[in-house]
Chains A and B, each alone.
Chain A
Amino acid sequence: MTDSAPRASVVRIRGVDKQFTAGAGAVTALSGIDLGIEAGEFVSLIGPSGCGKSTLLRLIGDLTPPTSGSVEVNGKPAHQARLGREYGMVFQAPVLFEWRTVEDNVKLPLELLGMDRSERDARAREMLSLVELGDFARHHPYQLSGGMQQRVAIARALALQPDILLMDEPFGALDEMTRERMNSEVLRIWRQTGTTVVFVTHSIPEAVFLSTRVVVMSARPGRITRVVDVPLPQPRNEETREDPRYFRVVTEVREALRAGGGLGEEAPLASEERVAAEGGIG
Chain B
Amino acid sequence: MTAAAPSVGVPVPPRPGRMLRFVRTLRYYVPALVVFVSVIAVWEVATRALDVRAFILPPPSAIGTALVENWGAGRWPLFDAARTTLLEAVGGLLIGTLAGVVVAFAVGRWMNARDAVLPFAVAANAIPIIAIAPIFNAWFGITNPVSKMMVAALLVFFPVMINVTRGLTQVEPSALELMRSYAASEWTILRKVRIPNALPYFLTALKVATTLSLIGAIVGEYFGGSTSVIGRVVVQSASSLRFDVTWAAILLGAIAGIVFYLAIVALERVLIPWHASVRGEEHG
CB distance from B268 to the nearest CB of A (A): 13
Residue A220 is within 8 A (CB to CB) of chain B in the complex: no
- In the bound complex, residues from chain B placing their C-beta under 8 Å from that of A85 are 182-183
Within A241-282, which residues are at the interface with B (CB < 8 Å)?
274, 276-282
Residue B192 is within 8 A (CB to CB) of chain A in the complex: yes
Judge whether B186 and A276 touch: CB under 8 Å. no
Q: Which of A22-30, A92-100, A183-191 contacts B (4 or more CB under 8 A)?
A: A92-100
Our pick among A83, A91, A147, A166 for the contact of B174 (Cβ within 8 Å) is: A91
Judge whether A279 and B9 touch: CB under 8 Å. no
Assembled-state Cα–Cα distance A276/B177 (Å): 9
Our pick among A98, A112, A145, A281 for the contact of B190 (Cβ within 8 Å) is: A281
Could you say which interface size class chain B belongs to?
35 or more
Counting chain B CB atoms within 10 Å of each CB, which of A148, A278, A280 scores highest?
A: A280
Could you say which interface size class chain A belongs to?
35 or more
Assembled-state Cα–Cα distance A194/B57 (Å): 81
How many pairs of A and B residues are in contact by the CB < 8 Å rule? 99
Judge whether A281 and B181 touch: CB under 8 Å. no
Judge whether B181 and A82 touch: CB under 8 Å. yes
- In the bound complex, residues from chain A placing their C-beta under 8 Å from that of B168 are 281
CB distance from B82 to the nearest CB of A (A): 37
Our pick among B111, B172, B272 for the contact of A99 (Cβ within 8 Å) is: B272
Residue B35 is within 8 A (CB to CB) of chain A in the complex: no
- In the bound complex, residues from chain B placing their C-beta under 8 Å from that of A147 are 8
CB distance from A54 to the nearest CB of B (A): 11
Judge whether A139 and B182 touch: CB under 8 Å. no
Judge whether A277 and B8 touch: CB under 8 Å. no
Residue B99 is within 8 A (CB to CB) of chain A in the complex: no
Assembled-state Cα–Cα distance A128/B163 (Å): 36
Assembled-state Cα–Cα distance A192/B219 (Å): 69
Assembled-state Cα–Cα distance A243/B170 (Å): 48
- In the bound complex, residues from chain A placing their C-beta under 8 Å from that of B190 are 281
- In the bound complex, residues from chain A placing their C-beta under 8 Å from that of B1 are 135
Residue B120 is within 8 A (CB to CB) of chain A in the complex: no
Assembled-state Cα–Cα distance A58/B186 (Å): 20
Judge whether B175 and A281 touch: CB under 8 Å. no
Our pick among A91, A109, A143, A148 for the contact of B182 (Cβ within 8 Å) is: A109
Assembled-state Cα–Cα distance A184/B108 (Å): 43
- In the bound complex, residues from chain A placing their C-beta under 8 Å from that of B2 are 135
Our pick among B169, B172, B174 for the contact of A281 (Cβ within 8 Å) is: B169
CB distance from B8 to the nearest CB of A (A): 5
Residue B37 is within 8 A (CB to CB) of chain A in the complex: no
- In the bound complex, residues from chain A placing their C-beta under 8 Å from that of B183 are 82-85, 112
Judge whether B274 and A140 touch: CB under 8 Å. yes
Residue A144 is within 8 A (CB to CB) of chain B in the complex: yes
- In the bound complex, residues from chain A placing their C-beta under 8 Å from that of B8 are 145, 147-148
Residue B266 is within 8 A (CB to CB) of chain A in the complex: no
- In the bound complex, residues from chain A placing their C-beta under 8 Å from that of B274 are 98-99, 140, 142
Per-residue interface assignment for chain B, residues 85 to 118, with 1 indicating a CB less than 8 Å from any chain A CB and 0 otherwise: 0000000000000000000000011110000000
Judge whether A274 and B9 touch: CB under 8 Å. no
Nearest-neighbor residue (CB-CB) of B5 within chain A: A135
Judge whether A89 and B178 touch: CB under 8 Å. yes
Our pick among A58, A98, A112, A281 for the contact of B188 (Cβ within 8 Å) is: A112
CB distance from B147 to the nearest CB of A (A): 36
Per-residue interface assignment for chain B, residues 1 to 29, with 1 indicating a CB less than 8 Å from any chain A CB and 0 otherwise: 11011001110100000000000000000
Per-residue interface assignment for chain B, residues 194 to 235, with 1 indicating a CB less than 8 Å from any chain A CB and 0 otherwise: 101001000000000000000000000000000000000000
Residues of B in contact with A (beta carbons under 8 Å apart) = 1-2, 4-5, 8-10, 12, 108-111, 168-178, 180-184, 186, 188-190, 192-194, 196, 199, 272, 274-276, 279
A sample of 21 inter-chain contacts (CB < 8 A) reads: A63-B177, A63-B181, A82-B183, A85-B182, A89-B181, A91-B174, A92-B174, A95-B174, A95-B175, A95-B178, A97-B175, A99-B275, A112-B183, A135-B5, A136-B5, A140-B274, A142-B10, A145-B10, A276-B173, A281-B168, A281-B189
